[in-house]
Structure 1
Amino acid sequence: MFKSFHGNTIKHVKARLLLIFSIIALVSSFLVFFPFSMYLVINEDNQIGKHLASFEHIATEHYTLIQDDFAQLSPHVSAYYSETALPERVKALMPFKENGITRHRSYFADGFVVFHSTFTDIQGNETPLYLTIDARAIEFGDDGWHVLMLISFALIVFLITFLRYSLQRMFDGLMSPVTELSHQLQHNHNDEFSVSERSIDELQTLTKHLNEYKQMKERLARQELMFAKYASHELKTPIAIVLGAANLQGMKDDPVFQAKQRDRILVAATNMHATVEVLLSIVKQENASEAGTMRVVTENEIPLDKFRTKLKDGVELNLALEPKTQLNLPEPVLAMILKNLINNAIRFTRQGQITIHIDSHTISVTDTGCGLTGSTETEHGLGLLIVKRLCQSYGWDFELKSNPERGCTAQLCLHPTSKHCATHIGL
């Protein structure tokens, strides 16, 4: 019976809310109905007492006429003119306060009310007077008082039921968008979340953020897939070189040939080591503690001769490194960024020049190639994806844009609000 009240679903919460509301409504109704009923009963009892006292003059006049110890003044009012004439149930309550009203079980059917006084008869004697009436003998006002009370109680029950139904409808209307949103979270994996325009602003804001988080999740999933594909390609190349050179070493005993294969293995292993370091730095976010450390950059870190061997005829490679340049990029990270940007520029530049500019605030690679063709997917190896991820990790902004005349520029700018550069630019 009470299982529906346990749990935290909307159905269970609504059941508990309606139960609590019903209890509060019943208690509140009782606190109003009971005092009101008691007021009516007490007021009626006081009116009976006043009605009984109003017969004092009639009882005195009646005694002058009949000179008897008992008189029935009305269908409900009796007069006694001596203690011996009183009924036993009245005698049991003696003595009575003179000129006062005494009530005995006045709220019950067998109760009665007594009014006691004295008067002087025509012979000059002090005569006691006792007026009695049954407590429930007469009702003042509407003869159907009990029916009126039942109608009032029925009206209260109706109001409670109506308000409970209204509360249920209001709760259902309020929780309907939440239920709908919960259903969409469980079943609609591909569609966007939506709620009614009449929903409260907070639910609409929540829905908007859920859609944004969903889009971000999907975008990150695609990026991770692309990242894994590019990382696989970048690592497979040096591994293939190492395996090939190792196999070739066993074919000849020529020292020169052996040395050449060892050099190929060392270069491929070194490149692979640098790539793995950068990948681990991104995936594990181990660079978080190093992101704020500034270091001086030297030209020895940039192997221009290695890049010049890849240039096409008629293309020059120049480096402009500002003196005392300090960056928060570790050497393997800077090498990976420059490698991808420079290789990307070499790939699309057939004549002219490629210029590398580095200072404490910016890193740029400008070429005179074919420029952007409407898509920025011009990566080489890990390419621009790796560059973007590294920029995010170390607080840099990345932008790839076309030059006014020809070619394009890949530019990294240290974010002015980033905590990583606070020690350098005095923020």
Structure 2
Amino acid sequence: MENETRCVGVIGTGNMGRALVKRLIFSGYQVLIGSRQPDDRRKLLNDDVYLNDVEVTSIDQCIERNQIIFVALHMESYQSILVVNTDKFQGKILVDVSNQTKLQQINLSNAEYLSSIVPHAYVIKAFNTVSTFVLENDVAGGSRRVFIAGDNQFARETVSSIARDMGFEPVNIGALRAARKIELYVLSLFPQWKMPLIIAFTVFTLWLLYIIYYNFIDQKNFGWHQIFICVLNKPMCVSAITLLSLTYIPGSLAAIYQIVSGTKYRRFPVLLDRWLLLRKQLGVITFYVALIHSLMSILMMSPSYYKSWFRSTEIIIPQNLTKDLHFSMKTMMTWKGEAASLFGILTIITMSILAVSTAPSIGDTLNWREWRFVQSKLGFLTLVFAVCHVFIMATPHWITRGFVKIFYFFFWIFRLQV
């Protein structure tokens, strides 16, 4: 059986078929290409230096001579090409690498459809999430995970072994029914990021509207020419700490729920369960919002914008006129400026560690205790640093305005309703 697994067939000579053949040859496999027009395809492949010595034969012979066959065809061609050879697929392993061109209305994957027309074969779904560029280029930056699904365990393990020989990381996700999820994954556009992005956009928009009203309509603190950096930086700041809070609040609510229910095995409510699943994406978005806020703050780091951060020095020039000339200057930072900068830097540093640890290449090197330390303890420390940064920035302003006016936002909403 070992010799049989080192010899594989590929049906199809399109881009995916040729890329698979090259990768299999480089991995030490003997490959036989099956085509409906073997003579014409042989002439075409002769132009490729890596494929000019690969044997090209008819589809019938390719099926008969190989136990493992990669089906690199469009799903629409299965019926016309493979059904006539149904009896020859007895006990053979068919690797379906196709993808749907659009979301189908019927709840059936291409691999399940292939299995229905060749019921005597072991159909495995694999390699559909790997691009032809990654197959042909060892230094390509695309994903090297190969999701594998199939009803036969031996067939899954065989294809997994081939994937490892080809330099990929096989991920066994179960029975052939799971092929629906694999094929949907290719057609989906950031499915796990839609709701976090909507939440982040909503939070930022609400804070932006409030700050524009407060600074342009009510207080008239800024000019419209300052909206690009100075004004936008304010909602970036409050949005970052709001999103950071939304990232860690569900974990605390989950702990309270388990304490109240007296067990950790009861399922969380649907809303809380979905909220918990959004934490990683919310955390990454928070990091980038905070990073933008930091860059904007660096651009504005001057006494003109942060007056309370710098000490005032007055230069007096005596004159023989009626009065002296007084020039006010800002020199060194005050305690507020230095403390706010310190906690802002600490927040960005710890948040960067959190963001980096979410990358698979870093997260896979951490054990469970290390992962919990970074994402839990270090995460809450980041939240503490961010709160300290905000309190240092705002407390002197709150003291000046008085206890009642620090809740200006709620009074503003009440006034609009009245």
TM range (shorter): under 0.3
TM-score, scaled relative to structure 2:
0.27
TM-score, scaled relative to structure 1:
0.27
Structure with greater proportional helix content: 2
